[in-house]
């Protein structure tokens, strides 16, 4: 993962079958005509990784998974290892998304183990952190996010390619976003926790913002100090919307 360009990554979640590859073709064509000034990644459901990697081959679009198991192989029905994602054509993997932390009870320690496994398999992890609405209203956003960063980033990340995504849980899929000042405050706290945990070598590792990023707010959010890109859910499903965000970077 290069460390100076912004990274705009799309998280398709459990959306998309073969017909949706037309969106990748459209994105690819648009980026060929007018190259992006940021890195662009799409993280489709696992069933589409290989086909999407083929559709994006030779283009600047990077492909990622949405989760992986910490173990390398074994009796884990329905799960995927990091090396399976890599083998299918992924170069990145989202880990610790709040939908997994909340829906599957994933702990910081498990996220850290997954991140270490991803590195071992040659994937660049995008480690997600973020506070709930209750935690923000209690004035604990910075404290919560800081502790998630400290406990979810394995020391093995030192000197390696990865990103952190700050995604307030209450902003995901809701149309709500923090103010630009709130985003800056948390991103600065994330940066200082990353440095405390992994040293100054991570000073250029991107910290993405995620949560209701749309074409009409992307430019402002991406201009906030310490915002090194965006993790985009709903607005990454259609090439036109995703491009509107990419053009804001
Ligand atoms: C996400 O799920 O990571 C996300 C940011 O979703 P949305 O952009 O739809 O809020």
- At residue 201, the pLDDT reads 87
- At residue 2, the pLDDT reads 39
Residue owning the nearest CA to atom 4 of ligand 1: 233
- Six-digit token string for 110: 């498990």
Q: Which of 23, 97, 99, 106 is catalytic?
A: 97
pLDDT < 70: residue spans in the chain: 1-3
* Phi, psi angles (nearest 5°) of residue 139: 75, 25
How many angstroms separate the CA atoms of 124 and 121, rounded?
9
The CA radius of gyration of the chain, in Å to the nearest whole number, is 17
- At residue 202, the pLDDT reads 86
Task: Tell me, in angstroms, the distance from the centre of ligand 1 to residue 75's CA.
Answer: 31
Query: How does pLDDT run across 132-182, given as a tens digit for each residue?
Result: 999 999 999 999 999 999 999 999 999 999 999 999 999 999 999 999 999
DSSP 123: P
**Nearest C-alpha neighbor of 151 from the set 108, 113, 192, 117:** 108
| Global confidence as pTM | 0.97
CB 41 within 8 A of CB 10: yes
- At residue 171, the pLDDT reads 98
Domain 7-246: give its CATH code: 3.20.20.70
Alpha carbon distances (Å) from 246 to 87, 134, 216: 27, 31, 11
């Amino acid at each position: 993962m290069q460390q100076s360009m912004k990274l705009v990554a799309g998280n398709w979640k459990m959306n998309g079958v073969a017909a949706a590859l037309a969106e990748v073709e459209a994105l690819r064509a648009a980026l060929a005509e007018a190259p992006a000034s940021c890195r662009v990644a799409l993280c489709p459901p696992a069933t589409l990784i290989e086909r999407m990697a083929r559709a994006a081959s030779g283009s600047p679009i990077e492909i990622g998974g949405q989760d992986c198991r910490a173990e390398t192989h074994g009796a884990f029905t329905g799960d995927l290892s990091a090396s399976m994602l890599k083998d299918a054509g992924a170069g990145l993997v989202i880990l610790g998304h709040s939908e997994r932390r909340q829906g599957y009870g994933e702990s910081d320690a498990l996220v850290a183990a997954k991140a270490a496994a991803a590195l071992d398999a040659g994937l660049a992890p995008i480690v997600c952190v973020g506070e709930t609405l209750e935690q923000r209203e209690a004035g604990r956003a910075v404290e919560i996010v800081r502790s998630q960063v400290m406990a979810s980033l394995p020391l093995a990340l030192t000197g390696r390619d990865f990103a952190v995504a700050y995604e307030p849980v209450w902003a995901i899929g809701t149309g709500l976003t923090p103010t630009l000042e709130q985003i800056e405050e948390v991103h600065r706290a994330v940066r200082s926790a990353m440095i405390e945990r992994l040293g100054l070598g991570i000073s250029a590792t991107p910290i993405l913002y995620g949560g209701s990023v749309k074409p009409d707010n992307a430019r402002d959010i991406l201009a906030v100090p310490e915002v090194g890109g965006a993790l985009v859910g709903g607005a990454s499903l259609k090439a036109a919307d995703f491009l509107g965000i990419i053009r804001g970077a």
